[in-house]
Each structure stands twice: as C-alpha cells, then as structure tokens.
Structure 1
Amino acid sequence: MIKRNLAAAGLLAISLLFTLTTSGKELTVREDAGHYHLNSHIEYILDGERPLDELLQRGQWRNKNDDSVLNLGFTNQSVWIRASLTIPEPLTRQWYLVIPYPLLEEVDLYIARDNQQPAIYTSRQQTEDQRDQARSYQVALPLPRNLDGQVDLFLKARSATSLQVPVELWREDHLLLRFSLVSLYWGAYFGVLCALVIYNLFLFISLRDLAYGYYVLYIGSISLLMLCISGVGSAWIWGGQPLLPRYALPISTALVSLFALLFARSFLKWQDISLRWDRSMKIAAGLAGLLIFYTWANPIHGAMLAGLLGTLVIVLLIAVGVAGLKAGVAIARYFVLAWTTFALGASLYLLSVFDLLPVNLVTKHSMQVGSVAEVLLLSFALAHRIKDERARKLAALRKQQMAERQVRDLEMQSLEQAMHDSTTRMPNASLLNQHLQTMMSRKQRVALTLVHYPQVKDIASSMGHRLAEEVFCQLMEKLNRTLAGLDGVVCLESRQSAYIAIPEFGSAAFVVDLELFEGPMEPFIEQVVGNHEISVHAVRLPVFMNLHCGVAIAPEHGDSTEILYQHASAAQDRSQSSKVPVQVYNNEISDFARRRLDLVTALPPAIRAGELELYLQPQMNSTGQELVGAEMLLRWHSPRFGPVPAGEVIDIAENAGLMDLLSRHVVTEAWQTMKILRERQLNIPCSINLSVQNLTDSHFVTFALAGIREHAIPMNRVIFEVTETSMMHNMDAVIGSLLQIANSGCRVALDDFGTGYSSLAYLSRLPIHELKIDRCFVSQMSSSQNDLGIVQSTLKLAHTLNLEAVAEGVEDTRTMELLSQLGCHRLQGYLFARPMPLDTFCDWATALSTS
C-alpha cells in the first residue's frame, strides 16, 4: 500500500508537468492491428533511483532513433522509459504492453491519459499475483479497456542480469496465438531434453556408469537454465515469483559448468590419460562449486561471474576434447563437435547479453539451438561409447577363452596354494585337517597343539604388516626346525619337511603322535614353543615373543576334528586368561567358559544395580609420611559370583563389547568420588585407568572431560593412566586422545612402564606427565641388582624428561628408603595401605593427618 501511495503522489506531479513531457515520437494505435513495436518510439533515462518528476524537470531523456532492442548490458541501475501513444478510438479488446525479456525482475508501469487524475499504476508483481492476464513467456502488463486519446506510458525496469527492455504492444488474441506457437517450439525443445534424460537415466541404472549419471544431471541443469532464459519457468512453474530467476539463473549456470566438467572427466577418463588436464578440470569444478555458494549470497555479481566461468569452462572443455583426439580417444570427436556447437550458440547469446552484439532472432535463440544440438551430439558420443565397450567386451571374451585354457594348467598349482599359508608357505588348516581326519579314523591317539603369538598383531598395528610378517616367518622357521628334531611330532608335508600348520596369521598348530611320545605333555610343549627370541631391527631391541598354547588330545577330548579344534581353542583361551604358557584341555575349562558367559550376561545388570564400586589406594610422598594422591581401582562384589577380579571384569567387557558401558559408569563414579573427597577437605590428585578401547574412541574422551567440568573438578587434579602395551593399538588414534586429554589440563601417566617393548621408540611422541614403575621391578629391587638397575635407569629417564615418577608395589621399608634415595616422587603399595572403599579411605586419611 505504501508503494502505491507513493506512486500516486509521483503521478500527481507528473500530471502537473504533462505539458513538458509530451514526446514528439507519438505512435497511433488502431484496434484492427495485431501488435506494434515501440523500440523506435521510446525515450529513456538510466537513473531509476530518482523520482520521475525530478527526471522530467531536468529533461535528460535520451531519444532512441532505431528499432533495435534497448540493451544496457550488466548494470545495477534501473531505467525509465517513456512512450507516447495516440488512440483515436476507445480500445474494445484487451491489449498488453509486452516486454519479451523474461529476466526483468521489477517492472512498474504508469499510464496517464489526457491529463486525467489519478494516473493508472500496475506492475509485473501485481499483475502476476492477480492472475488475470493472458499467460505469456514474456512480461505482459494489461492496459485498461476503453483506453483512448493521448496516452503516456512511463515504464521503470530493473534486472540482476543484462538490462534489455524490448517494448511491444499486443492485442490479446494475437498474443495468445503467439503463445501457442512458442509453446509448440518450447514443448519440442524440452521434450527432446526429457527423452534424453529418461534414456540416459535408464542406461545409468543399468550400467552403473557415472558418466551417464553426470550427463543426466547436466541435462537437468541445462533445462533449469533454459527455463529461466526462455520464460517458460515463469509461465508454468514459478509464476508470481519474478525474483526467483535472480538466484536460479546464476546457480543453474554454475551447475551446468560443474556437471559438464564432471561428465567430461568421467566420459573421457582423464585421470587415466593426463593428470594435468584432470587437475585443471578439478580446479574449474571447484570454482563452480564455490560460485554456487557465492551466488546465494550475492546473486547480482554471481550472474556476471557465472557467465565468465561458463565461457572459461567451454574453452577448457573444447581444449580437453582436442587433447583427447590427440591422445587417440576416438569418441572425443563427438565431444569436440558438441562443445563447439554449444560454444557458438552460447557465445552469440552472451555477446548480446554483454551488449557486444545486437539482440535479434539469431542471438536470442542461439543458446537454445546450440544446447539441443550439443546434447544430441553428446548422446551420439555415449551411444558410440557403448559400441566401443561392447567391442572391448568381445575382445575380452576371446581373451577369457584363452585364459581358461591357462587356468586348467594352473588348477593343480592353485590347489597347492590353497593348502598352504601365503605368508610362510607352510601348510594351512586345510592340510592339517586332512591329516587329523586320517589319523583319527585309524583310532590313533594324537595331541593337537594350537599356539598363538599376540604380539605379532601388535607389531602389525604399530610398525606395519610387513615387519610383522618378517617376525612371524622367523618364528615359524625356528619352531619348525625345533619340531623336526623331536620324536612323535607328525610331519604334515614331506616335500618341504613341514611339521607345523598356520590356521591364521599369528598362530601355529602341530600334531603329536602320542604312541611315539613318552613323558608329560606340558613341559615338553612349553620347552618346544616357549624359547624363541626374535631380533626386530626396526626398533633395535630383541623381542621375546609371548604366547598362549592350548592342547587337546584325541579321542579323550573329542572324536572329531571339529570338536578337537574347539577344545584346543578353549584351552588356548584359558592359557591367555590365566597367564599360563601351556594349557591342556580339561572339564574345568568348559566350566570356566560357561562362567565367562554367565559373567558377560550378568555384567550390564550389575552396573545398573550399582554392584561395581571404586576403591582408593593412597599414594605417599617420597618419605612415606604424607598423602599426595590416590589411585581408583574397580571392584565387583557379586552376590552370585562373589568377588570378581578387576582384570577379569575388564577382559570380559573388552571381548563382549561392553567396555564403553563399563567405562562411562566408572568415570561417572570417579568424578562423584572426587567431589566427595573435596567436600571432606581431601583435595588430592586421583588416578583412573583407561583401556585401549577408551583411547581409540574420541567420543568417550569427550564424555569423560565433560564430566570433570560438570562436577567442577580442577583439571590438574585428574590423572589418566594408560599402559604402554595399549600404545601398540592404533597409535595415531591413541596419541590423538592423549593430546585431547593433555590439552584439557588433565595429566597423563604411563602405567606398567618397562614391561613392553615400545616405550623408548614412542616415548617422545606421547604427551605424558608421569611414569609408573611396574611392581614386578619395585618389589624385587632390594634383593635383585638387575631390578634395582632398571628402577634407577627409569628414574634417571624420568628426571631427564621432567616427568614425575610413581613406584608401585612398595611393600617394605627397605624398598621405600631406596626409592626415596633415588628421588622417586610418589610411592604406592601395601606398606602404606591396601585399596579401600571411599568412607574407609577418608577415615584413614583423617587419622594419618592427625597423627
């Protein structure tokens, strides 16, 4: 309403100055004519921001003396246009002022006749909202019926693209007839594009070739672009939204460039021909993607940049096609011809848009003609591509027939490989299974031994699979030589004197014929498999390979190979959990497996019921007189199973996928415990242990740090303990989690230091603040010079790196005095106190402070 009132006020001033505005270029309009061109009967001013009355007073109107279209190129200004008409007789039919340029966003029309008040105002937005005008692909503003006499038309136009203002008068019946003819033209155009989309979409779904998918997207982008340029979109799709093409036009142009580049790259497969051209297309595609986002923020400048980018892309695609021809790609000739045709049509259109060529029938429709010719030629290219691929498939079929003859010659070799491990060339489980079946069918008494070396996979995770394979091959060679000299061990393959089989990487198996063997089984096997030291040159340290060994005897422990494997594997698992090198299967192992299954089932309800709690073990200063910290340790007193060792709880949680549930419960309880300690005036640092699964899960670390902040616990009072063996699992993820912890202000302690083999190699990379010396060295240091030397070296290393040192396992006064002399910062062990519940710990700490 405000805009209309202002318009009426402006027209009042216009009518007062009517005598000054009468144009000498009047046009006589007669009812019997069908339409008139007003391009040679107009005057204009490129200053649309000034009021019309001010422009009339200054008399700065420019005459236009030819019949060409008023084309002002890219400009941010609006233009005023004036045309004077003489209508001898009142108009009995509906007439329209038509502007055949649908990209105009704002068009305002003021009609004044015979100095009458008030003047008539209408606009494109108002006309399209009312929906009472004849449907048209152009801007069509209705003139009042019964209009006659001296009429002045004042037109204000604005566009985010090229500002072209062709002005015409059309009688409604002629306009509808023209609309019908143009509809047939555009129907045929978009019908061709639609047919190509359906055809190539079917090919894309059938062949799963990205080239056809990109081509479908490219045709869709071309369709959107032409909907904007032609006015078909305004007529049928987004009528009443004249500002929508401001965004749709540059975005569709950028999409055309983007999908054209992706199609060209996939169609010609430039990544296999020339990396330089492929890189150029990637850069241009990136610019097109950026332009899409830029256009959303600044559509006016985006339209000009889209035109420039489109020109650059067309030149690049033609150059790429020519380079493809030189490289011997036959289908590139269609590609070059298609883009040359499109380039010619687009160039004529863009030159007219930039006011470098006049607007006429050729330049107005050159884009449409060039685009339809281009998509047809590209479809021919795709069809030729299918023909070439079919020829290649036929050639491949002939090669396949020749290869089949070679395959028959390689079948025996393949069968041989199927019975051997690819890494060690030793027999695999299939060959071992054949021997076992043969021996068990003869009722022979045999022992199946499974050996697993867990450190092999740790080496593969931390130092690479190639080094792990080298280590494993050395192990198997030594083990095979050892077994070859022993009585009773079954030779699985005489050709290479192989006595072992490889069920999986990191494991080995062999069979002992007990009819040829005398003596106890466990010491014999432990002596055979447990004495192998491998030199790993990458870290310049000798590595003693730990192992887990399980033994099952037939027919006592199974009358089939499947059951024997099952029981040997169960014995191996028991060997791992009980830390026993060799374990022979017995009924207790089955009971242990059932108990483990029951514990897995009972653990989640126990967590929810609060059966798991945290105990605290104090950490004292170097003299053992002052409490300087505490370590939180997990305890589970189950009403059904009794006390469950913490190590078993952790092992169950890790293997059953319950580690995240358990760890979140533990850290939640830990922060509540530290809060209670602070309330009881025990503001001491507390340590909490993390597993390898916690360190490789960034979400858990974020959860833990958020809990610290939520309970208002000072970050420097929290110490996260990690074992050095956990460093071997996904080293990069572990270091990332430790950096996140250290950057938050919390401290990191390296637990069980000295028990692994990676500490010296990776210590400089870890953001740690403390070293915890393992109890196996501390407990024996007063009686063992070797352990004492290890502790001394560790403390020197800690002092050199400015790290605090914590000694675990302090159980006597002599050990405490030695550690104090060596400069150990904190002490922990049964000499001071065992782990205890929170309330007991608080009472103990209070009694210590008072004493």
Structure 2
Amino acid sequence: MVNLCRWTTTLMAALLLCALSASAAGLTVLGGTGQYSLNDRIAYRLGPGQPLEQVVQQGTWQEKSDDSVLNLGFTDQPVWIKASLDIPQPLDQPWYLVIPYPLLEEADLYILRDGQLPPIYHISRQQTLNPRGQAQSYQVALPLPQDLSGPVSLLLRAQSATSLQVPVELWSKERLTNDFSRESLYWGIYFGILVAMATYNLFLFLSIRDPAYGYYVLYIGSISLLMLCISGVGSAWIWSGQPLLTRYALPTSTALVSLFALMFARSFLKWQEISGGWERVLNIAAGLAGVLIVYTWIDPIHGALLAGLLGTLVIVLVISVGLAALTAGVASARYFVMAWTAFALGASLYLMNVFNLLPVNLLTNHAMQAGSAAEVLLLSFALAHRIKDERARKLAALHSQQMAERQVRDLEMQSLDQAMHDSATKLPNGTLLNQQLQTVISQGQRVALALVHYPQVKDIASSMGHNLAEDMFCQLMKKLNHTLAMLGGGICLETKQPAYIAIPEFGSAAFLIDVNQLQGALPPFIEQVVGHHEVSFRSVRLPVLMNLHCGVAVAPDHGESTEILYQHASAARDRSESRKVPVQVYSEEISDFARRRLDLLTALPQAIEDGEIELYLQPQMNSIGLELVGAEVLLRWHSSRFGPVPTWEVIEIAENAGLMDLLSRYVIAQAWKTMHLLRERNLDITCSINLSVQNLTDSHFVPDALASIKEHAIPVDRVIFEMTETAMMHNMESVIDSLLLIANHGCRIALDDFGTGYSSLAYLSRLPIHELKIDRSFINKMTSSRNDLEIVKNTLKLARTLNLETVAEGVEDAATLERLSELGCHRVQGYLFAKPMPVDEFCRWALQHTVDEKAGKGQ
C-alpha cells in the first residue's frame, strides 16, 4: 500500500512537470539586463475560478508564440498564465513580474520549483498595495523573491471587470524605478495641462458667467477622472489599496464625459443657428448619459461596455453638430470640430485596443491620452476664438445699441418737439406756451395772455374738408405770427422759427404780450394784432374774412398762476363770443358771469325734470298778415332762482354740457301735447320745431321723434322741423340722412336763418327742404337798405325756382309786410302780429284773432 502511494505521487509529479515544461519554452534570467518580455513564452487558459491545484492538474493550455500582448477583450472570467524561468544564480537586485495594464483588478502570482506543489511563493496585487506608503509604479508590479534561483515555474491568475489585457514582463528594480519616474513626468505634464485649462476656464466662468466655460471645466474634470482610471495614477496615488474602485470610477467617468461633452456643445454652439432636430437628438443622448451614470453604480461591468458604446455615439453626434454649426456660419466651430476629431481618433484607437481589434502597443495604449490632450488644447483655442467672436459681437452690439440709443434720443427729441408743437402749423402748442408763461410769471413780469378762437375753421372743416380748413388755418396763423412779430411787444415763444403764436387746439391761437413794452392801452393793441385777417381758398382763390373771439387776462392782475390765468382768459373769450365783440379783457363781472353759467348748467337738468322749461308759440301769418297759418315752438326758462334765462343761453349751455338730447326730447314731448291741445281747440295750424345739429347727427333721436308722432296721432303734414344753415355744415352726410328720414315720413323741413351761412347753396339741391326762412337781419333793414332788399328779392326768386315756400322772420312794421307781400313771400312772423306767448295765451289770442278776422270780413 505504501509503495502504491509512492508510485502515485511520483506519477503525478512527473505529469505536472511535463505539463509545465511542455507548454512553453523556458526563459533564462540573467542579472545583467533590466527587462524581459514573456509574451511569447507563455501558455494560458480561460475558465471559471478554480484553486491552483485543479488548474495545475486539469485542463489544456493554449500556447502563445508571438510577442503580442494577450488581449482577451471584455470577459468576466479569470485567465491563468504560466511561464518557465531558469535563474542560474541568485539575482543581485529585486525583480518584479510586471503587467503594464493598470486596469487589471486582480493578480495572483504563484512560483513553483520543479513544477511541484505546494508553491514556494505567493503574492497578490492587493498585498503589494496595502502596506505601501507611497506609489512605486503605475503598473501592476508583483515582486519576486530576491533569493530565487534555479528552474522555476510562474503561474499568474489575472481578472478584471473591464477589458482583460495581460502583458507579462520581468523588470528589475532599477527599470521599474526609471519607468515610474518617466511616467510620473509624462502624467504630471498631462494632468498639469488639464488643471491649468480647468483653472483658467473656471476663472472665465466666474468672471463672465457664460455656462459654456462652466461645462468645459466639468468636462475637463470628467476627462481627468477617466484618465486617472486608465493610466493607473488614480490607483497609485488617490485610491491606493482599493483597485476595485476603478471598476465603478471608469464607467461613471466615461458617462460623465459623454454628458458634459453634450452640455458643453449645446452651450458653446449657437443653437439658434442649428436646426431643432440636432437639439432633440443630443437631448436624448444627454438623457441616456444621465441614466447610464446611475446604472454604472448598479452594474459596473455591463455599465463599462455601455459607457464605451455611448461615448462612441456621443463623439459622432458632437462632430456632426459641429459640422452643422460650421456650415451655419459659426466661425469658432472649426476648432470645435478639430478638437473632437483629435479626441475621436485617440479614443477610437484606444477602444479598438480595448475591444481587441488592434494590437496592444505604445500607440494604442496612449492614444486616449494624446487625443484628449490635443482636444483640451484645441477646445481652449475654440473658447479663445469664441471670446474674440463674442467681443466682436458685443462691440457690434454696443455699436448697434449706441446707434439705437442715438435713434431713440432723436426720436425722443422728435417726439418732444412734436409734443411741443402743433402738427399742422408747426408752431408751439399749449404745452410750450404754458412753460414760457410759467417762466415769465416767476420772473415777476407783467404779461398778458390772449386766447383767440376762430369758429369758422371747424365749420369749414365739416363742410369742405379738414385739409382745406387746415390750409386756411395755417395761412391765418402765419399772418398772425408775422403781424405780432412786426408790431413788437409780443413774447417770443421759440427762437428757431421765430414763433410768437401757440396753438392750443385746432381753430384756436394764443400769444403772450409784455405789457410793460406797450406804448398805449392793451385792448387796442390786441385788436390791432388779431384784426380781421383775410385768407383764400386754395382752389378758387376766394377771399374769406375769419371771425374771431378773443379773451385776454393779465398777470399778476388777474392771476398769479398759469392755471388761473388760463381760466380767466377762457372766461373772457367766452364773454367775447356771447357779446359778439372781437376782444374782451377779463374782469370780475366775467367771473360772475362764468359762475352764473356754471350754476345754470347744474340747475338745467333739474329744471327740465321739474317742468320749469315752458313752450311758447309765436304766430305765423299768411302773406298779407291776416290769416293764422302756423306757429313756431320756442322754449322759455323762467327760473325761480335765476329769473328769466335767455333761450340762446339755454341752448348754448345744453349743447356745451351734453344735455341737448335731454332738452330736445323734453321739447318734442311737450310739442306733441301742445299740438294735440291746439287741435282740440280747432286750431288746425302747422307747428315749427327747432332741431340742433346734435339731434340730426344722433342716430336714435329722429327715429324716436317720428315714432312719437304716431303715438300722439299728430298729422305729419302739420309738423315742420327747422334746422339752422350753420347746423347743416356739421357732419353733412349724417344730417342729410336724418333729413331724408324726416321727409320720407311726411313731415316738412325748413332751413332757418337762410343767408347767414356761406356754403348752403352748394347743398340745397341735395337737401329735402320745403321752406326757406329768411333771417331777421335782412328783413329788418330791407325797407332802408337797398343791399338787404336785393338779398331778400334774390332769396325769394331762388325759392320760387326751387319750388320752396318762404317764411320771413322779424316783421315789425306794416311797410315791411306790404313789401314782402308784393315780392310773393308765403308766410311772415314777427312782433307786428304778436310776440311769443305761452300755449294758453296763444290759444286765446288765436281765437280772438279769428273773431276779429271774421268781423273784418263782415264789414
């Protein structure tokens, strides 16, 4: 039994020795040289984890005869490598079994003498890292026993979660030290460049807050982490003793490189110059990179493979986007494309090395290092060029901004000039006048403010068009400004023209007079300035004398502020209009009048509601003045507070205060009641009701008035609506529409105050008029003035030609009545027959007149 065991042991040792010796040729190690390569003298086998004894006793080995590095690609299985050494005499210095592949995670070295178990020496990578105080190599360096000699067998077990490359070499201590020094220099320069670029761009980011520089700093940080893993510098200096940490750091850093590369490209390139399709693609890629960062911490082995594939895709996408930006005209994109091309070349060589598509050599091992260094430098050039472009763009933008600001200032000055000047006449407006007035008042000067209004200007604008009225008004203001400049005493409002006149509104003017410079009284001087200026129609050169109303207030006599002075000058102008005088200087009486007008305005609505407004009737007789044929409806206001208020003042207050619709509807309602009362008393006569321009331009008033006629059963042929010739000139088209509506309902229309206007003849053929009422100003003087008589004759002749009836107003004597009868006037009214009377009194008068008329006929 003992012999059997002895034979079995001898046989197993012989088989083991044969297995170790038959696989590869042995290497004789001499102490004179410092490095040996074992890549062509090894045999290897790939399989699941097994103890040393099973590996030695079982399985077949694959021999490797060329000098290439053993590259097994991505695999999670360990590899066993064996080699034979012959060491004639003990070595004079420490030697190391070196694996120049820092990504190798696990390495265990066993030394067997004569191929016999147990091993005489065992050491692992973990054992070499843990007790070391400082780094000695960036490679996997496993020390050999210093007293080793004779023939020995080396068995190496190697494993890595990333690509599995196992270059096997023997290095002396001196060779290892020299290599470490040289590699430290190279990597120091490389990481120094990265740190310098990161620091510089971080400073730029903090200075100008451009996110492109921030993403570039993060990108350099992720590249640095990736290169710490690939180079072994991280394992040597940062996480020494933790080789498995590289398993997580490598795929995470690769995913971070992809993510920050995309973010940097997104911020560096001008996305408004690139199509949205590229942006969507890179957004998707960035999202995948973010997911992959999380996934690598769950499954770092597969995460490393996916990170490499994503990195390849990102490089292609970024270069494509750079080319798109270069095509779109982004100048700095050329450096961007060159940088990523350099990185793509280096990464491609390294990845093909990792995936065992290229042989492992110095070029493929350091391609990533060279490509990333070139990329970092080229991207720095790109960012520097971008700064240049941004500076040029900012200078251009600053220039454009300055030009825009200059244009804005010009526009502001132009707007200010327009705000201070009238658009039609180009003369100063009320704002500039107010500033100048404030200045002279503050200086204590005695100054007169004159406000002039030309009512005809707006009438011309309504009847003949705004352009013609504007042209005439400009002529008028030019003459007025010239007159004021020639006479002296006026205060110049603006020196560049020069301008003495201001235009508060269209149809009005204002100017300032230095009272201390006048030789005589102020009112005659003002009258001399405004006068009656003659202007001409642009087309027919027909001269027109412009009527005016002028109000004057003097500072400090009539006020010490611009607001009070304007108020008093406006009140004086209104008094000028009401009194029919060209110039009115302010006085306390005018203030009393203005206050009275305000009180009347406030009291008028209540007076209408309380029935204080009464209707009076003035008879209209036939041509010989014997028969009552009609009556004109007139309103009277007998106020318990103010006494009798003139009708013209009531109408003026109502029109200016917007109460005309309320007043007219009240008058219409009372008129229908009056006509109904007259018919009950057998007075079958016409009633003439006055309408204002506001009634005729209101789209609701006329239809409502016509509808109420039917409600009160009033015969439409007994209703006559009167309108003034001046009212006809306002909004002619609306007035004509209202008049046609009245005529179509069977009511008659009378044109009141005929002859006082200046353009009605041009529209008589268009208007559905039935009567012409000749103004009292011509009737009163026709017996004493040949001109007035001729006007009356021609008016009656015109009426007969147009088949119109005529009514003469203001008949006050028998001679006038007789002359009108001879000329063929149809109806007459005036104080010769009766003054306006209340309705009841009129009815009594009418019945008495009828009795007297019948008695006269009986005699």
Normalization by structure 1: what TM-score?
0.52
User: 1:626 maps to which residue?
Assistant: 627
User: 1:488 maps to which residue?
Assistant: 489
Q: The residue matched to 1:764 in structure 2 has which SS? A: coil
Check 1:842–1:443 CA distance in 2 against 1; reply closer, same or farther (3 A cut): same
Match runs of 1:355-370 below 5 Å: none
Check 1:612–1:430 CA distance in 2 against 1; reply closer, same or farther (3 A cut): closer
Alpha-carbon displacement from aligned partner over 1:418-471 (angstroms, at most 9, x marks no partner)? 432221122222332333223222211111101011221222223222111101
Amino acid of the structure 1 residue aligned with 2:792: V
Say whether residues 1:684 and 2:715 are aligned partners. no
Q: The residue matched to 2:720 in structure 1 has which SS? A: strand
Match runs of 1:415-430 below 5 Å: 415-430=416-431
Amino acid of the structure 2 residue aligned with 1:532: H
* Equivalent pair of 1:452/1:506 in contact (CA under 8 Å): yes
Distance 1:652 1:397 in 2: 60
Match runs of 1:229-628 below 5 Å: 402-409=403-410, 411-537=412-538, 541-628=542-629
* Equivalent pair of 1:502/1:509 in contact (CA under 8 Å): yes
User: 2:771 maps to which residue?
Assistant: 770
Unpaired stretches in structure 2, ≥5 consecutive residues: 1-395, 853-859
Check 1:396–1:507 CA distance in 2 against 1; reply closer, same or farther (3 A cut): farther
Distance 2:788 2:480 in 1: 31
Distance 1:635 1:720 in 2: 18
Check 1:408–1:794 CA distance in 2 against 1; reply closer, same or farther (3 A cut): same
User: 1:849 maps to which residue?
Assistant: 850
Check 1:842–1:594 CA distance in 2 against 1; reply closer, same or farther (3 A cut): same
* Equivalent pair of 2:468/2:538 in contact (CA under 8 Å): no
Check 1:768–1:398 CA distance in 2 against 1; reply closer, same or farther (3 A cut): farther
Amino acid of the structure 2 residue aligned with 1:747: R
Match runs of 1:786-801 below 5 Å: 786-801=787-802
Amino acid of the structure 1 residue aligned with 2:536: S
User: 2:738 maps to which residue?
Assistant: 737
Distance 2:717 2:833 in 1: 24
Instruction: Report the alpha carbon displacement of residue 810 of structure 1 after superposing the two structures with TM.
Output: 0.7
Q: The residue matched to 2:736 in structure 1 has which SS? A: helix
Distance 2:446 2:649 in 1: 35
* Equivalent pair of 1:781/1:791 in contact (CA under 8 Å): yes
* Equivalent pair of 2:515/2:522 in contact (CA under 8 Å): no
User: 1:752 maps to which residue?
Assistant: 753
Distance 1:678 1:400 in 2: 82
Check 1:418–1:698 CA distance in 2 against 1; reply closer, same or farther (3 A cut): closer
Alpha-carbon displacement from aligned partner over 1:636-673 (angstroms, at most 9, x marks no partner)? 11111100111111111112221111111101110111
Q: The residue matched to 2:405 in structure 1 has which SS? A: helix
Instruction: Report the alpha carbon displacement of residue 541 of structure 1 after superposing the two structures with TM.
Output: 4.9
* Equivalent pair of 2:532/2:547 in contact (CA under 8 Å): no
Instruction: Report the alpha carbon displacement of residue 540 of structure 1 after superposing the two structures with TM.
Output: 7.0
Q: The residue matched to 2:554 in structure 1 has which SS? A: strand
Distance 2:684 2:678 in 1: 6
User: 1:20 maps to which residue?
Assistant: none
Instruction: Report the alpha carbon displacement of residue 605 of structure 1 after superposing the two structures with TM.
Output: 1.7
User: 2:713 maps to which residue?
Assistant: 712
Moved more, 591-600 or 731-740: 591-600
User: 2:838 maps to which residue?
Assistant: 837
Check 1:595–1:409 CA distance in 2 against 1; reply closer, same or farther (3 A cut): closer
Alpha-carbon displacement from aligned partner over 1:209-256 (angstroms, at most 9, x marks no partner)? xxxxxxxxxxxxxxxxxxxxxxxxxxxxxxxxxxxxxxxxxxxxxxxx
Instruction: Report the alpha carbon displacement of residue 411 of structure 1 after superposing the two structures with TM.
Output: 5.0
Give RMSD over aligned pairs. Answer: 2.1
Q: How many correspondences in the alignment?
A: 457
* Equivalent pair of 1:543/1:757 in contact (CA under 8 Å): no
Say whether residues 1:675 and 2:670 are aligned partners. no
Alpha-carbon displacement from aligned partner over 1:71-91 (angstroms, at most 9, x marks no partner)? xxxxxxxxxxxxxxxxxxxxx
Amino acid of the structure 1 residue aligned with 2:533: H
Distance 1:638 1:573 in 2: 23
Amino acid of the structure 2 residue aligned with 1:429: G
Q: The residue matched to 1:765 in structure 2 has which SS? A: coil
Distance 1:437 1:712 in 2: 63
User: 1:236 maps to which residue?
Assistant: none
* Equivalent pair of 1:724/1:750 in contact (CA under 8 Å): yes
Distance 1:656 1:700 in 2: 17
User: 1:784 maps to which residue?
Assistant: 785
User: 2:189 maps to which residue?
Assistant: none
* Equivalent pair of 1:622/1:827 in contact (CA under 8 Å): yes
Q: The residue matched to 1:583 in structure 2 has which SS? A: strand
Distance 1:544 1:449 in 2: 20
Q: The residue matched to 2:765 in structure 1 has which SS? A: helix
Kindly name which structure, 1 or 2, has the bigger radius of gyration based on alpha carbons.
2
Check 1:798–1:539 CA distance in 2 against 1; reply closer, same or farther (3 A cut): farther
Alpha-carbon displacement from aligned partner over 1:56-104 (angstroms, at most 9, x marks no partner)? xxxxxxxxxxxxxxxxxxxxxxxxxxxxxxxxxxxxxxxxxxxxxxxxx
* Equivalent pair of 2:716/2:747 in contact (CA under 8 Å): yes
Amino acid of the structure 2 residue aligned with 1:447: A
Instruction: Report the alpha carbon displacement of residue 535 of structure 1 after superposing the two structures with TM.
Output: 2.3
Normalization by structure 2: what TM-score?
0.51
Amino acid of the structure 1 residue aligned with 2:617: L
Instruction: Report the alpha carbon displacement of residue 840 of structure 1 after superposing the two structures with TM.
Output: 1.4
Instruction: Report the alpha carbon displacement of residue 513 of structure 1 after superposing the two structures with TM.
Output: 1.0
* Equivalent pair of 1:619/1:828 in contact (CA under 8 Å): yes
Moved more, 633-642 or 462-471: 462-471
Alpha-carbon displacement from aligned partner over 1:614-640 (angstroms, at most 9, x marks no partner)? 111111111111111110110111111
Distance 1:526 1:773 in 2: 32
Amino acid of the structure 1 residue aligned with 2:516: E
Instruction: Report the alpha carbon displacement of residue 831 of structure 1 after superposing the two structures with TM.
Output: 0.8
Check 1:660–1:515 CA distance in 2 against 1; reply closer, same or farther (3 A cut): same
User: 1:376 maps to which residue?
Assistant: none
Amino acid of the structure 2 residue aligned with 1:748: I
* Equivalent pair of 1:552/1:571 in contact (CA under 8 Å): yes
Amino acid of the structure 2 residue aligned with 1:433: N
Q: The residue matched to 1:614 in structure 2 has which SS? A: strand
Distance 2:499 2:407 in 1: 30
Identity across matched positions, percent: 75
Distance 2:569 2:648 in 1: 23
Distance 1:701 1:418 in 2: 41
Alpha-carbon displacement from aligned partner over 1:565-607 (angstroms, at most 9, x marks no partner)? 2211222222223333211111122222221221122112211
Check 1:398–1:735 CA distance in 2 against 1; reply closer, same or farther (3 A cut): farther
Check 1:412–1:604 CA distance in 2 against 1; reply closer, same or farther (3 A cut): closer
Distance 1:544 1:742 in 2: 35
Check 1:398–1:487 CA distance in 2 against 1; reply closer, same or farther (3 A cut): closer
Amino acid of the structure 2 residue aligned with 1:468: A
Q: The residue matched to 2:764 in structure 1 has which SS? A: helix
Instruction: Report the alpha carbon displacement of residue 520 of structure 1 after superposing the two structures with TM.
Output: 3.0
Amino acid of the structure 1 residue aligned with 2:549: H
Distance 1:483 1:620 in 2: 53
Distance 2:715 2:842 in 1: 21
Amino acid of the structure 1 residue aligned with 2:656: N
Distance 1:412 1:715 in 2: 62
User: 2:640 maps to which residue?
Assistant: 639
Unpaired stretches in structure 1, ≥5 consecutive residues: 1-394
Moved more, 404-413 or 425-434: 404-413
Alpha-carbon displacement from aligned partner over 1:532-586 (angstroms, at most 9, x marks no partner)? 1222255875433221211000001111222212211222222223333211111
Alpha-carbon displacement from aligned partner over 1:352-386 (angstroms, at most 9, x marks no partner)? xxxxxxxxxxxxxxxxxxxxxxxxxxxxxxxxxxx
Match runs of 1:46-65 below 5 Å: none
* Equivalent pair of 1:454/1:546 in contact (CA under 8 Å): yes
